[in-house]
Structure 1
Amino acid sequence: MASPRFFVLEKDKLRSRYDVEVDELEPINRGEGPDCPRCGGAIGMLEWLPPYRVELVLHGEELGDFIEPTGDDLLVSERFARAFQEEGLTGLVGFHPVEVVRVRRKRRSPKALHVPAYLVVRTSPISRAAVDMARSRIVYAGNPPTCEECREATKNAIHGYTLEPGTWGGEDIFRPRGLSGCLTVSERFARFVEHHGFTNMKLIPTEQLVWDPLRRGPPRAKPGTA
């Protein structure tokens, strides 16, 4: 049986037709962030708590089905949320309505702007999926991870990653241990996005992801493995 494929979910890059900023409006309440149960280190951002009130600043031409605010919370359109739940996909929790107080345009457009109803969601904190540190191409800033549970350490670059066999529990969207900043999705999720034509969602095969802001290049092969 072929190994399952996974993808990184990102928004369209800046200056796309769906380019938008999210400003959370007062009062802004924060809850606890997730910590590793073994080493106690932070493995995610503080949770956004109600009331969910935002201002959207549109740099592009229209609003999409997927928006990434600051932190680990996500904004998804009502049509995405309804289809996600009706088709039985897994991995997201919350689904709380968001009040869009206003939308400011950064460019003139004669077209009337459709503002979707949005909901705030967050990935479930129970995923056991873990990055395969031996087979992933990650450049760490210092020492590699020392905690087998969270597998977190500061990174300088990522040149593709894979999941450790047997750790994925079947979720359709999750944040793997060792790369909590990478929103990872299943093949079923990828087909779901394509079928419905959801906008502002870019899917990159995990083994093809390149994040290298300092241009460090991929990790050097260990002696005897080249």
Structure 2
Amino acid sequence: MVSDLPPDPRFFVLEAEVWGPHGTHFDTAAPDNRGDAPHCPRCGEPIGMLTWLPPYRAELELHGGAFGDFLEGPGYEVLLSERLAEAFRKEGLTGFLGFEPVEVLRVRGKRKKSQALAVPRYVVVTPCLGRGAVDEARSRLRHAKPVTCPECRSGGLDSIHGFALEAGSWKGEDVFRARGFRGCIVVSERFTEFVKRHGFTNMKLTPTEEYVWDPLRKGPSALST
């Protein structure tokens, strides 16, 4: 018997493909003003990095043959090319906040190549802190300490070898950071289709069930650890 229930939405992890043909990275430039990090409203623990404050000035590092549309840097903020930002807003996607212009002061990389290319205009945005929460029972996680706060779900995460979101926790954002794993940017299937349709660059999209984050190389854990 076929269920009448709609299929579970699919989610993807968004990362910059720094060593690809449009590989580009950014660093903040002085004055690098920083504000407070966001905190969990329930337990008070930090749930993000220090916020980047204006003036927004950046230095780019070009690794590929052309500048990318999506750039990661030292904090939770990311840079979007003007064409990506305009298409995102025009098509009514949600989850990126800010859209403030950035002044590019310098481009590092292969000198002849970087000097010959026109630098796109970029804006700085922050992926929102979403309500979507990592489903511990359907994810392969390894924790250094138990999760104690039901709101932020912070618990000293050591590694992740595929994860899923709790059914009903997602509130429809196309770009967000999930409770229980704020360290990565999660995007909707609609956003993934949007990227492919427009051919935006320097963006790696990995299904959440295939995503691996294991900086200490501890390997996968059993389900529900």
State the TM-score, normalized to the length of structure 2: 0.92
CA-to-aligned-CA distance 1:148-197 (integer Å, 9 cap, x gap) = 10001212210000000111000000000000011000010000000000
Amino acid corresponding to residue 138 of structure 2 in structure 1? R
Which of 13, 23, 33 pairs up with 1:8? 13
* Number of positions where the alignment pairs a residue of Structure 1 with one of Structure 2: 220
SS of 1:85's partner is helix
More helix by share: 2
SS of 1:181's partner is strand
Amino acid corresponding to residue 31 of structure 1 in structure 2? G
Q: Which moved more, 1:101-110 or 1:56-65?
A: 101-110
How is 1:35-50 mapped onto 2 (pairs within 5 angstroms)?
Answer: 35-50=39-54
> How many Å separate the matches in 2 of 1:74 and 1:85?
16
Unaligned runs of 5+ in 2: 1-5
How is 1:77-116 mapped onto 2 (pairs within 5 angstroms)?
Answer: 77-106=81-110, 108-109=112-113, 112-116=116-120
SS of 1:162's partner is coil
User: What RMSD in Å do the two structures reach over aligned CA positions?
Assistant: 1.8
In the superposition, relative to structure 1, how do residues 168 and 222 fare at CA in structure 2: closer, same or farther (>3 Å)? closer
> How many Å separate the matches in 1 of 2:44 and 2:208?
27
Which of 73, 80, 102 pairs up with 1:76? 80
Which of 24, 32, 42 pairs up with 2:36? 32
Residue 34 of structure 1 deviates from its aligned partner by 0.7
SS of 2:159's partner is strand
Q: Which moved more, 1:15-24 or 1:154-163?
A: 15-24
CA-to-aligned-CA distance 1:120-166 (integer Å, 9 cap, x gap) = 000224x211111111111112x221111000121221000000011
Residue 17 of structure 1 deviates from its aligned partner by 2.4
The answer to whether the 8 Å contact 1:94/1:120 transfers is yes
Amino acid corresponding to residue 30 of structure 1 in structure 2? R
> How many Å separate the matches in 1 of 2:212 and 2:46?
24
SS of 2:132's partner is coil
In the superposition, relative to structure 1, how do residues 42 and 111 fare at CA in structure 2: closer, same or farther (>3 Å)? closer
Amino acid corresponding to residue 97 of structure 1 in structure 2? P
> How many Å separate the matches in 2 of 1:177 and 1:110?
39
Q: Which moved more, 1:128-137 or 1:56-65?
A: 56-65
> How many Å separate the matches in 2 of 1:2 and 1:160?
19
The percent identity for this pair of structures is 57
Residue 222 of structure 1 deviates from its aligned partner by 6.6
CA-to-aligned-CA distance 1:65-103 (integer Å, 9 cap, x gap) = 000011100000000000000000001110000001121
Q: Which moved more, 1:61-70 or 1:209-218?
A: 209-218
More strand by share: 2
Aligned to 2:58: 54
The answer to whether the 8 Å contact 2:178/2:186 transfers is yes
Which of 184, 190, 207 pairs up with 2:186? 184
> How many Å separate the matches in 2 of 1:222 and 1:17?
39
State the TM-score, normalized to the length of structure 1: 0.92
Q: Which moved more, 1:105-114 or 1:159-168?
A: 105-114
Aligned to 1:123: 127
Q: Which moved more, 1:155-164 or 1:107-116?
A: 107-116
Aligned to 1:155: 157
